[in-house]
Structure formats: structure tokens, C-alpha cells
Amino acid sequence: MRRKRGVNDGRFRPPRRFPLVVPVRRTSSQEFTMADLAFVVATIAAFALVAFLAQGVTKL
């Protein structure tokens, strides 16, 4: 006969699904270089957009 159990089988919290220690993956310098390049391109694009909008506002 199967015994009926309460919520979480009487445990205070559910079992952990993830390990406490997460392994660190080494990243190459090329990944950092590409991230830096993407940041620089995005920053230049944002400033260009602001300059374009400011130029359009001054023509009003």
C-alpha cells in the first residue's frame, strides 16, 4: 500500500537543482577583442544617431 506524503515529502525546501560551485570557462583574448570592438561600434552608432537627431532638430 502506498503511503500518502505531505508537501515536499516533509522537507523544508526542495532539493537543489544547480551545483553551488559553477565551473569557470576560460575565455580567449579574441573573444574580449570582439566584445570591445562591438562596444566601440555600438557607441559610435549611438553618438551618430544623436548627432543626426540634433541636426534635424536645429533645422526645425
Assess if residue 8 is contained within a domain.
no
pLDDT of residue 58: 86
Assess if residue 32 is contained within a domain.
yes
Structurally, how many domains does the chain consist of? 1
User: Distance between CA 3 and CA 20 in Å, rounded?
Assistant: 33
Q: Are 56 and 50 in contact (CB under 8 A)?
A: no
Assess if residue 47 is contained within a domain.
yes
pLDDT of residue 40: 97
DSSP labels, 1-60? -PPP--GGGG-SSPPPSS-SSPPPPP--HHHHHHHHHHHHHHHHHHHHHHHHHHHHHHT-
Assess if residue 57 is contained within a domain.
yes
Assess if residue 7 is contained within a domain.
no
Instruction: Compute mean pLDDT per 10 residues along the chain, 60 residues long, and list them.
Output: 62 65 76 92 98 90
- Residue 42 lies in domain: 28-60
User: Distance between CA 42 and CA 13 in Å, rounded?
Assistant: 44
Assess if residue 34 is contained within a domain.
yes
pLDDT of residue 8: 58
In this prediction the pTM is 0.52
